[in-house]
Structures are given as structure tokens and as C-alpha cells.
Structure 1
């Protein structure tokens, strides 16, 4: 179901959140892979152990996500994101000054837990709380801006690290979260609070569920299953892109695939922004899910063909880019805006837990079954996700909605 409204998306809020998402993902996630080798040397660890610590941190952060989603509903996403920026800054500082391995891992857990408070899950909820009836478009615009996080922060992190230690880089990133993100989130929080005060006593504006009550529980289970399988495939392939390409005789193509992957993500979001406004969110989820196994089948069938690898990179990037939109918009379309933060926390929890285990699982499969069979299993899992979203489509049916008169809000 697509939500149509005469309201306009809150442009100022989207632009401001786009900046904080670029900083949030860039400092708390994308920078890690560049700094990890130096981190390993600092603590006399192997790189595998450092990435293992990251996996553990992601797992614990995922387990904490449902509670944080409940906080978002109770206290407001703006307040939670404001506190999250402060916690993220403190966690980065703690990591930089960690005297040993235990303190480093504890700080890393704090960083990944804070990520839940400031990244997509919380940002989507904030857009829903600001203007729920145009939140689907707002989420699409936000993901288009935030899609440049890796493009911006990989070179920034590399340039900084050439001049200073990873500890000093983290201190600079802590300052960015504190000096840039925190004031923006506080400003957005005040704006939402003032809007709610102005609307006190008026008919509440919210998005009604697109499912009958009896269909919501099975639809939620199917949706989370589909998202989990997609997260598994995305996380596993992105971590093991170089080994996969090498095993297929395409080792030199790993860099090219990485170059095409990011722009393809942004391209998919741009196409959806321009042409997808009237597209059902369930159909968008199906298209997204179909692209992932299609990309894998192309890679398996054409390897070691270079053109085949390039097509794989584009198709895989398109699917991954749409996925970031769908996991924000589909829950809103199916279940409405009430309790959106709690549901996002539950979805994020499953995604993070699965993502934390996916790299190890794919490495185990490749070591025991070979790369072609492992990719075939990943493609099969993606196909199950397609079936899950088709099942959701069968559950959808029109729901009578009360007439609401939209009132413009200030960003």
C-alpha cells in the first residue's frame, strides 16, 4: 500500500538528518575496516580477532535494539538521537583511550549499541514522528543522501589515518558526533515537541495499518524473515567479496565491484525517488528481494567473465540500495505509525544478529562446500525472502480509514 498525502516532506529535517546519518555511519561503522589493522597492532591481536570483536559488538547491539525501539516510542526519536550522539562520542573516546583488550571490546560494544540510537532505525522513526503521512517519501530522500556515507568517509578516514593514529582519528570522530550531530538532533527534538503541543486537542494524524488485525502477526513474522535472509546475504557477501571473487577467478574484479556497488545503491534510491512514489511498498520489497538472487545467479553462471561480474555488481548494488528503503517503509505501510519505533527495534535486532553471524557462516560454507555451492545456498536463501514478501502481498487487503484533514507542519 502506498500512502498519498498533500503534505510535503520536511526538507530541512531530511537534509539535517542526512548530514547526521553520513557522520553516524561514517564514524561508527565504515571507518572501522580502515582502522582495524592499526587497532590489531595496538593490542597485539590478529585482524581476525579485531573483526571478531566487532561481530560480538554487533550481536550485543542487536540484542539491545528492541529496548531502544521502545524508548523511541516512549520518549521520542529526537530525544533518543540526542542522547545517542552524546553516548556515541563518549564511546569513541573510551575506545581511543582503552588501556587493554577488555576495555577496547567494551568500548566497541558501546559504539555499536549507540549506533542503534543514531542511525537509520532511529532516523526513520523521527521522520515518522515529524510527518507520518509523508514518511515513506521522507525515508527515500534520507537514504539517498545517507548513501554517500561510505563514499565520503572511506577517503576521509584514510587521509586522517595517514597523518595520525587510529586513536586520534576516533577522537576527531567523537568531536564530530558531539559538535555536529548532537545539536542537530536536539533541534529536531524541540521541533517535534513544539509541533505536538500545537496539535494537542486536534484529531491525531497518523498512518493507519494496511493489514487487517488478524493478518498482522503472520505478516510481521514473514516480513522479519525476509529482512533477516536479505541481511544475511548482504552482510556475508560484502565482507567476503575479495575471497569470493578470487575463488571464482575474478580476484582483480573485487575492487571494481566495490567501485560499482556504492553508486548502484544510490542509483536505485534515485530511481525509486523519481518513479516509485505510486509503487506499493510490498511490491518494492519483492523487487528488492528478487534482485539479490538474480545477482548471485548471474555471478555463478558467468564466472570468470568480467562483464558478468560487472553486471553482478550493479544488480547487487541496486537490490542492496532498495533494501535500506524497504525496511523503513514497509513496516509503516503494513502496520501504521503507532508503535513504529518498537517495531523498528525488533527488525533491527534480527538484522544485526543475523548480520553479525553471516560472515562466519559463509566462510564456513566456502571452506567445506566450495564457493559455487556456498553462493548457490545464499541465492536459495534470497529466494525464500522473495517467497516471504509474496506471501505478505496475499495477506494485504484494503482497510477502511477514517477521513483525516492534513495540516501542514513546520520542519
Structure 2
């Protein structure tokens, strides 16, 4: 077994993540309007099906964490491409809303098998703390997902229609994802779970540490989803034109990639420090965006940097705190509340924007970001006391 992933392995894993994220979580950013225009289905149902898919992913995550610990990640991660492709084929064939919803249930199962939580769990189980470098590099590569996938998907929709675009993307997943994971990940070597002692929760983690980390990750996931879904609408409600809102939102990608490059330079730093930097930057960015819309560009760069670190911290902080033999199970358990929170966010965020307006909605996001700063500081103090 290799001591750590090679550069080729990392490139293949990052590429596979781009393909699966693009065919699932980020799909409706391009397809929602064409689907609604073609079918006449209400927009809330078209977008709400993604929430159902995220919910299915969250409900399956703890079981998949145990499965990864027992059987390894190569087979399950490879299966994600097949499952998401199957969901896309059902999506392409859907003539009734119920079939469309079923397609997203299938895609949600593929998301559980193949997105960050599953991959990080597999890498941590295989390589232990040596997986930190691979996790950082993979999130850097996959941060280009929307930059690469959205234009390609939009071009296919324009040329062939949304149904054919789904079929073509499904074919790409079927021929690429399994070979990429088979080449990049070694065969699994079974390990015995570490012993959990009294007073510990989350498979070997101190119970308080586990719950603080789980709560912080959940709030961060809710904030990310709210901003992804509502940012352009919120900016327009504050007076920006559509073009200005899209231009400002485009700053998030470079900010996230830049923050991940900085994180990669922190090779010896404990992940709790990037975690603190992530939540503080997120809070400062949201507060500045709320109180000084004229400085929206600076605010979104700060928020994007904080959110960019979040994805890496999600994989590296649990890896630094628990035994590698328990890592897959811990990641599975941590994923459930985050994904359930994400599933509810589009609906709740839409209601806040509709009934409260843009400014109060921004303040709600600021309060959540402030809560996350307190949770992370509490976690830091608890870890410092234990050390």
C-alpha cells in the first residue's frame, strides 16, 4: 500500500470530484430554468428536489461511513458515478413530477457515496494523518468545479436541450469515474476500530469535542448553502443589477482557491487555527456585506476565503482529533446533521427573503456566523484544556 497519494492520484481524485459535484449538487444552477420552462413545473418543486437529494444523502451518511471503514472507499466512491448517472438518466426521461423527484432521490444516494465526506473518510482510513496533504490539494482542484462544469453544461443545454445534456453527462460519469477511482485508490485493507472509552462520543472523540465540532460544521454548511442559493437574489434585493450581482458572486471562486493555497502552506499548523480563521473571516465578510453594501466586493472576498478554508477543515480537523481507524465512521456521523441542515436551508432561506426582506435575512446570516465563531472558540478552548 502506498504511503500517500501520488500527484497523479490527487489529480484523478480531484477530477472525479469535479464530475460528481457537477452532476449533482451544482446541476440545477444551470438546469433549473430550462426544466421549469420545458415542463411547467413550479420552480419551488424543481429546486426543492435538490433539498430532497441532500436529505437522502444525509440520512445515508452514517451507514456509508461504517461501510467505508469495513469495505474501503474505492468501490463505494466508484459506485457514486454509476448511481448519479442512473439518476441523471431518470431525470432525462421524467415526464411527471413524481419521476423527477425520484431521480433526485437516486442522485442523493450517489452524493452520499461520492462527495467530500466519503472521499475524506476513505483517504483518512487509508493514510491517516498523511491524508491531510491530499485533502488540501483535492479541494483546491475541485474548487474549479463550477468554473469548468457550468459553461460545458450550459453549452450542451443550448445545443441539445436539457434532457440530452443529462444523458451526455451521465455517459461521461459512466465511462470515467470508476476507472479514475480504481487507479487513484488502493484496495482497502481492513482495520479494527479503535476502542472507545467511557466519556467519549463519536467513535473515540471526547463527547463535548464531537458535539461542538458537529454543531460548527452544521452551521457552516447552512451558511454556505444559503449564500450559494440566495446570494444573487439578496444582492439584487439590495439594489444591484443582475449583471452586478453575478459579477460580485464570481469573486467567491478565486477567494476560495486563494484561501486553500494559503492553507496548503500551513503544513505543521494544527487545523483548529485555520478553523478559527475560517469562521472569523466568514463573520467579518457577512457583517461588512450587511452594513456596507458599497464594499460588497471586499466583503465577498473575505467570506469566500473563509468558506474556502471550511471545506479543508471539515476533513483535516476530525483527522487530527481521532484515530485513523475510526475516521470513516466519524466522518459519516458528522455528515448527517450538516446535510440535513443544508437540505432545509433553501426552503427556510427563501421564506426569510420573501417575508423578512434582504436586510433582515443578511442579519440572520450574520447571527449564525457569530454563533459559529463562539462554537469554534469553545472547541479551541476545550482542545487546549485537554492538551
2:358 is matched with which residue? 371
- Superimposed CA distance per residue, residues 303-340 of structure 1 (whole angstroms, 9 cap, x where no aligned partner): 2x1xx010011111111111110111111111231222
Contact 1:133 1:207 in 2 (8 A): no
Partner of 1:123: 119
Which residue does the alignment assign to 2:245? Answer: 254
Specify the alignment match of 1:408 in structure 2: none
Q: Which residue of 1 aligns with 2:231?
A: 241
Deviations 1:384-406 (A, max 9, x none): 11111111112225989xxxxxx
1:320 and 2:315 aligned: no
| Aligned position for 1:177 | 173
Question: How far apart, in 2, do the equivalents of 1:369 and 1:173 lie?
Answer: 39
Partners of 1:55 and 1:357 within 8 A in 2: yes
DSSP-derived class of the 1:383 partner: helix
Distance 1:240 1:213 in 2: 38
1:283 to 256, 273, 280: 273
Query: Greater shift after overlay, 249-258 or 148-157?
Result: 249-258
CA contact (8 A) 1:129 1:192 kept: no
Query: Within 5 A, what are the aligned runs for 1:261-272?
Result: 261-272=252-263
In the alignment, is residue 26 of structure 1 matched against residue 22 of structure 2? yes
Conservation of the 8 A alpha-carbon contact between 2:286 and 2:366: yes
Q: Distance in 2 between matches of 1:103 and 1:366?
A: 29
Segments of 4+ moved more than 4 angstroms: 204-209, 212-215, 397-400
In 1, Cα distance between equivalents of 2:291 and 2:349: 19
Q: Structure 1: where are the runs of 5+ without partners?
A: 1-6, 198-203, 401-411
Structure-1 separation of matches of 2:321 and 2:288:
32
Distance 1:344 1:399 in 2: 22
- Structure 1 position 206, deviation (Å): 11
Distance 1:314 1:99 in 2: 42
- TM superposition score normalised by structure 2: 0.91
Instruction: Decide which of 150, 156, 169 is 1:154's aligned counterpart.
Output: 150
For the residues of structure 1 that align with 2:167 and 2:291, how far apart are their CA atoms?
Answer: 46
Q: Structure 1 residues 14 and 250 mapped into 2: Cα distance closer, same or farther (>3 Å)? A: same
Contact 2:8 2:184 in 1 (8 A): no
Larger Rg over CA atoms: 1
Asked if residue 143 in structure 1 is aligned to residue 143 in structure 2, the reply is: no
Alpha-carbon shift at residue 154 of structure 1 (Å): 0.7
**TM-aligned CA deviation for residue 302 of structure 1:** 1.0
Q: Is the 8 A contact 2:129 2:320 kept in 1?
A: no
1:51 counterpart = 2:43: no
Distance 1:103 1:369, change over 3 A: closer
Report the TM-score, using the length of structure 1 for normalisation. 0.86
In structure 1, the residue matched to 2:368 is 381
Q: 1:360 to 1:205 in 2, by over 3 A?
A: closer
Q: Please identify, of 355-364 and 158-167, the stretch whose mean Cα deviation from structure 2 is larger.
A: 355-364
Tell me, what secondary structure is at the counterpart of 2:250? Answer: helix
**Which of 328, 334, 340 does residue 353 from structure 1 map onto?**
340
Contact 1:208 1:337 in 2 (8 A): no
Q: CA deviation at 1:361?
A: 1.8
Q: 2:23 touches 2:84 (CA, 8 Å); kept in 1?
A: no
Relative to structure 1, is the Cα distance of residues 97 and 369 closer, same or farther in structure 2, using a 3 angstrom cutoff?
closer
Q: How far apart, in 1, do the equivalents of 2:350 and 2:308 lie?
A: 24
Q: Which runs of 5+ in 2 are unaligned?
A: none
Give runs of aligned pairs for residues 50-89 of structure 1, distance below 5 A: 50-89=46-85
Distance in 1 of aligned mates of 2:5 and 2:382:
29
Does structure 2 retain, via aligned residues, the 8 Å contact 1:84–1:115?
A: yes
1:165 aligns with 2:161: yes
The offset of 1:299, in angstroms, is 0.8
The aligned runs of 1:300-315 (5 Å cut-off) are: 300-303=290-293, 305=294, 308-315=295-302
Q: Deviations over 1:253-289 (max 9, x none)?
A: 3111221111111111111112x11221111111111
Tell me, in whole angstroms, the C-alpha distance in 2 between the residues paired with 1:109 and 1:374: 29
1:192 to 187, 191, 195: 187
- Whether the 8 Å CA contact 1:242–1:251 is kept in 2: the answer is no
